[in-house]
């Protein structure tokens, strides 16, 4: 009986130990499941919070174009949660850019309570101010009009010699200019002027210019080369636009000055024609047979004669009447014709 009781007690001890081990295992399993469940719940909550934050966080604009003088939160961030109209400073000048780096952007976000944090130190926003640019043609047109009032009418070639900055105006303004003062020196063709933009009534920008002005004119020139003795006709003439100041002395500016004239020497095409380049055409050649005409009231006579000199139209030359062999003087009136007075 004692032996049996001893064995019985040992088995009971093992059973107790097994029960303790199983209980510990069950507790461990339950703890592990609880932990995993907590992790899963936490992860889900983090995901939900992340999406909520992402949905309410502001987005950074890479390039922002503004028209006004002031800069607002909405010019930098999208979805600023109703804070878009908060003024944060001055915008750049018209036509200029301003770069806001990550540190500045973070400071703006904190001071305005905007939900945004930089993704990297390279985050930035370029603020670009819209502007009206004054075209150089506007400046030339304004100067041309002002100089015409100084007596320089017609087509003008205006050369601005100083370097002009880009003239910018606020976006809502017209890109026009007006001449405030102008001074013209005709001796050397120089000018000085003060201009304002967009108008005399609203001088937002003032700038000075100086340079040279050249009057341009159209002159007749030959459209092909001609040789000495050739007679210039209307079909031989064309026109070119040149600076008046660059023309050589004696340049002929009217077609009537050269049409019907004789070329005195070889002339190139497209070059200004001077008064020394042409001459009256030779209508009578020395030794040539000519017609002598005499008119006195209703009486008109004509006889055969001979030229003793070369002659151009309107020139007085010596001739001989072949009928009477009498030497006379007459005026060349046409080709091979001389009038006796």
80, 114 Cβ separation under 8 angstroms: yes
Q: Which residues contact 243 (CB under 8 A, 6 or more apart)?
A: 157, 214, 215, 216
Asked if 205 contacts 197 with a C-beta cutoff of 8 angstroms, the reply is yes
Q: Looking at residue 135, what DSSP letter applies? A: P
Query: What is the pLDDT, as a whole number, of residue 34?
Result: 65
- 43 by Cβ neighbours in 10 Å (0-12 / 13-18 / 19+) ranks as exposed
φ and ψ at 13, to 5 degrees?
A: -65, -40
Q: Give the pLDDT score at 23.
A: 53
Burial 308-341 (b: 16+ CB within 10 A, else e): beebebebebebbbeeeeeebebebeeeebbebe
Q: What pLDDT does 93 receive?
A: 84
Question: Rounded to the nearest 5 degrees, what angle is found at the Cα of 204, between the Cα atoms of 203 and 205?
Answer: 90
pLDDT for 31: 58
The model's pTM is 0.53
Residue ranges of alpha helices (H) inside the chain are: 2-56, 102-111, 136-148
Which phi and psi angles does 32 have, rounded to 5°?
Answer: -65, -45
What is the tens place of the pLDDT at every residue in 261-273?
A: 999 999 999 999 9
> 98-141: per-residue pLDDT in tens?
999 999 999 999 999 999 989 898 999 999 888 898 999 999 99
Per domain, the residue ranges of the chain are: 1-56, 59-129, 136-214, 217-278, 282-340
For the stretch 179-183, contacts whose Cβ atoms lie closer than 8 Å and that sit 24 or more positions apart, written own/partner, are 179/142, 179/143, 179/145, 179/146, 180/206, 182/143, 182/146, 182/147, 182/150
pLDDT value of residue 68: 85
How buried is 92 (Cβ within 10 angstroms: 0-12 exposed, 13-18 middle, 19+ buried)? middle
Q: Which of 21, 22, 83, 30 is closest to 57 using CA atoms?
A: 83
DSSP SS3 for 129: strand
State the pLDDT at residue 45: 52
Correct CATH for 217-278 of 3.40.30.110, 3.90.1210.10, 3.30.1130.10, 3.90.1170.50: 3.90.1210.10
**What is the domain class of 282-340 according to CATH?**
mainly beta
Asked whether the predicted pLDDT for residue 208 surpasses 50, the reply is: yes
The residue ranking higher by pLDDT, 68 or 289, is: 289
Return the pLDDT at 81. Answer: 84
Instruction: Examine the pLDDT at 76 and tell me if it is beyond 70.
Output: yes
Q: How far apart are CA 75 and CA 91, in angstroms?
A: 10
């Amino acid at each position: 009986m004692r032996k049996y009781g001893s064995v019985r007690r040992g088995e009971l001890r093992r059973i107790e130990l097994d029960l303790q081990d199983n209980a510990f295992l069950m507790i461990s399993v339950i703890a592990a499941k609880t932990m995993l469940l907590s992790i899963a719940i936490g992860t889900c909550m983090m995901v939900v919070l992340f999406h909520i934050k992402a949905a309410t966080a502001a987005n950074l604009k890479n390039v922002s174009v503004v028209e006004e003088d002031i800069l607002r939160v909405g010019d930098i961030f999208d979805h600023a949660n109703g804070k878009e109209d908060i003024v944060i400073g001055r915008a750049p000048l018209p036509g200029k850019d301003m770069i806001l780096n990550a540190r500045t952007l973070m400071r703006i976000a904190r001071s305005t309570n905007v939900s945004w944090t930089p993704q990297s130190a390279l985050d930035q926003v370029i603020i670009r101010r819209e502007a009206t640019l004054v075209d150089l043609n506007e400046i030339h047109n304004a100067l041309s009009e002002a100089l015409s009032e100084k007596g320089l009418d017609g087509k003008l070639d205006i050369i601005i010699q100083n370097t002009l900055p880009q003239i910018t105006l606020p976006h809502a303004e017209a890109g026009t200019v007006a001449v405030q003062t102008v001074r013209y020196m005709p001796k050397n063709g120089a000018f000085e002027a003060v201009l304002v933009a967009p108008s005399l009534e609203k001088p937002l920008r003032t700038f000075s210019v100086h340079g040279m002005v050249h009057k341009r004119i159209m002159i007749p020139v030959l459209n092909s080369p001609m040789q000495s003795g050739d007679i210039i006709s209307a079909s031989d003439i064309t026109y070119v636009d040149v600076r008046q100041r660059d023309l050589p002395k004696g340049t002929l500016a009217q077609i009537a000055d050269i049409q019907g004239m004789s070329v005195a020497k070889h002339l190139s095409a497209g070059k200004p024609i001077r008064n020394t380049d042409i001459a009256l055409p030779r209508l009578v050649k020395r030794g040539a047979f000519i017609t002598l005409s005499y008119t006195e009231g209703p009486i008109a006579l004509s006889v055969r004669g001979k030229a003793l000199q070369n002659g151009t139209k309107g020139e007085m030359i010596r001739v001989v009447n072949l009928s009477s062999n009498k030497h006379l003087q007459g005026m060349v009136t046409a080709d091979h014709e001389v009038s006796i007075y």
